[in-house]
Amino acid sequence: SPIVVWFRESLRLSDHPALHAAATSGAPVICCYVYDTESAALRPLGGASRWWLAQSLRALQDELDALGVKLVIRRGPSAKAISELAREASTSAVYWNDVAQTGPRAVAAEVEAALDAIGVKSRVFADDLLIDPAELRGKDGRGPRVFTPFWKRVLAQGDPPKPLPVPVRLSSPSGIASLTVDELALEPTSPDWAGGLRTTWRAGERAAQARLAKFLETTVRGYAADRDRPDIEATSRLSPHLRFGEISPRQIWHAARFAAEQQPAFARGIDKFLSELGWREFSRHLLFNNPDLATRNLQPSFDAFPWSQDAAALRAWQRGQTGYPIVDAGMRELWHTGSMHNRVRMVAASLLVKHLLIDWRLGEQWFWDTLVDADPGSNPASWQWVAGSGADAAPYFRVFNPVLQGEKFDSSGTYVRRWVPELARLPAALIHQPWAAKPLELAEAGVVLGRSYPAPVVDHRHGRERALAAYASLRTSD
Ligand code: FAD
């Protein structure tokens, strides 16, 4: 009798431990995805992630079609959907890859119990992480809090297992009812805000592999030096593919190591690139050990932080109307493409939390809704890192100066010109601080501050001092 492979966050056919085991067993295989908005333990996906998921499921369907297998799509709750499918198809077992997070594990435990009740076996396979987070939990039950020793530990473990191949042959029973991707209604209709996402991205395993290959062929050479520059494409842009498991960290690891052997000149870039993959891993370990990472300060002293309730400032930030060009460029890039360069994410997040004194959780939620790579680990971990409330966090008193950040990393102003066209005619020396331009310079560039482009929501020096004072109040109330 057939084995059901329950696809969760590994929407690919290669290096898929559960699929590989089912395929090599010789039994017929039913590939199934459950869109579960009903299990309370799961954080509902944001809008951009739902859009990505739809594209990713279609890509997975295409890959399976090529093997003559249909993707069976159902709606949650997962336990009900999977056990019904198991009964309908007289299945002997259900296989899936683990998602090492509290919510997804709770849902998987419900699935297992429901299957148990009807005499169907479950098999769970490790996936997604380079090292089992339970293994790194100390005696205090806390898990790693500092990145560098964490990453050394991962490296000391040596290479992860070699990636598994795509099954050569799959046989699948026919006649099993399935929803279509369209029926899941994951994509926006009116208004259809996904035009920029469609022109920017191609989801799916094939696209992920092509992106990795291209990155390792050329871009990685300059990665260590250029990864902070938002004006050029200097990074891999693999994050949404990783988020949905269209590619695995093991595949990236082995491909990168191979490239470093072939091209010793790339080794520095490749080490740096893998350590960034390490930050993803670290963030997921943090989430594993702190399931409420998106809602609770890792440092409890921040619970007393005097956040300001400034709805107008929050809206200006969300819309890319803060008057700080590098931040506005980033926020508009995010809205248009579902992504933002890492350096700009840091500067934009810092402006919200420090200059505007707005609770990092509101920023986290906005990113959660608008990023195609919105990740349950990396997003809250990065926000807490920027806010200073996290593990291994940037100290709160380090307040980014958005003008200097812009001048340093987008020195010719190319990135700002692309996303803030109303400033495009300003020279590089002024584009990161239009308010410093003389009236004639503004007139020549067609900029009317406060009309065609806003004045800064808050003066940098004032914002910085206010943030430091708020932080000091926290320390004295300890
Ligand atoms: P590359 O530089 O090519 O890095 C390779 C991979 O390493 C990335 O795809 C990503 O999986 C991982 N990675 C790189 N940097 C980080 C990092 N700082 N933390 C964790 N993983 C990293 N990343 C997400 O994947 N999802 C998020 O929701 C997310 N939210 C963020 C929020 C804030 C406030 C900040 C400052 C950063 C956030 N990041 C998040 C991290 C980082 O910005 C993105 O991973 C990166 O921009 C993705 O681009 P890339 O794939 O070209 O990265």
448: domain CATH number is 1.10.579.10
| Shortest-distance Cα residue to atom 23 of ligand 1 | 378
The pTM assigned to this predicted structure is 0.98
Residue 36 sits in the same domain as residue 47: yes
Q: What's the CA-to-centroid distance between 125 and ligand 1, angstroms?
A: 26
Q: Domain of 154: which CATH number?
A: 1.25.40.80
Residue 307 sits in the same domain as residue 456: yes
Is-catalytic flag, 342? yes
Domain final position from 261, 289, 317: 289
Q: Six-digit token pair at 220?
A: 């990685």
- pLDDT at site 63: 96
Distances (CA, A) of 153 to 100, 126, 249, 387: 19, 19, 16, 26
Residue 143 sits in the same domain as residue 231: yes
Q: What's the CA-to-centroid distance between 378 and ligand 1, angstroms?
A: 7
- pLDDT at site 477: 54
Catalytic residue among 307, 401, 407, 441: 307
Domain assignment of residue 194, yes or no = no
Q: Is ligand 1 within 6 A of the CB of residue 239?
A: yes
Residue 282 sits in the same domain as residue 405: no
- Other beta carbons within 10 angstroms of residue 363's beta carbon come to 25
pLDDT tens-digit readout, 29-54: 999 999 999 999 999 999 999 999 99
Domain count, the chain: 3
Q: Is ligand 1 within 6 A of the CB of residue 374?
A: yes
Domain assignment of residue 44, yes or no = yes
Domain assignment of residue 210, yes or no = yes
- pLDDT at site 391: 81
Q: What's the CA-to-centroid distance between 239 and ligand 1, angstroms?
A: 6
Is-catalytic flag, 279? yes
Task: Indicate whether this complex's ipTM tops 0.95.
Answer: yes
Checking phi first, is residue 135 left (phi over 0); if not, alpha (psi -120 to 50) or beta? Answer: alpha
Domain assignment of residue 452, yes or no = yes
Q: What's the CA-to-centroid distance between 339 and ligand 1, angstroms?
A: 10
Domain final position from 289, 321, 350: 289
Residue 269 sits in the same domain as residue 140: yes
| Shortest-distance Cα residue to atom 37 of ligand 1 | 382
| Shortest-distance Cα residue to atom 13 of ligand 1 | 276
Residue 272 sits in the same domain as residue 365: no
Q: Which residues of the chain are under the pLDDT cut of 70? A: 393, 475-478
- pLDDT at site 205: 98
Q: Is ligand 1 within 6 A of the CB of residue 253?
A: no
Q: Is ligand 1 within 6 A of the CB of residue 371?
A: yes
- pLDDT at site 404: 98
Domain final position from 230, 260, 289: 289
- 17 prior amide bond cis, ω within 30: no
| Whole-angstrom distance, CA of residue 438 vs CA of residue 430 | 10
| Whole-angstrom distance, CA of residue 427 vs CA of residue 96 | 55
Residue 52 sits in the same domain as residue 22: yes
Residue 283 sits in the same domain as residue 385: no
- pLDDT at site 213: 98
Residue 47 sits in the same domain as residue 63: yes
Residue 282 sits in the same domain as residue 305: no
Q: Domain of 114: which CATH number?
A: 3.40.50.620
Domain assignment of residue 184, yes or no = no
Residue 153 sits in the same domain as residue 271: yes
Q: Is ligand 1 within 6 A of the CB of residue 339?
A: no
Residue 220 sits in the same domain as residue 311: no
Q: What residue numbers bound the domain in which 335 lies?
A: 300-473
By most ligand atoms within 8 Å of CB, the mutation choice from 280, 286, 293, 341 for ligand 1 is 280
Domain assignment of residue 41, yes or no = yes
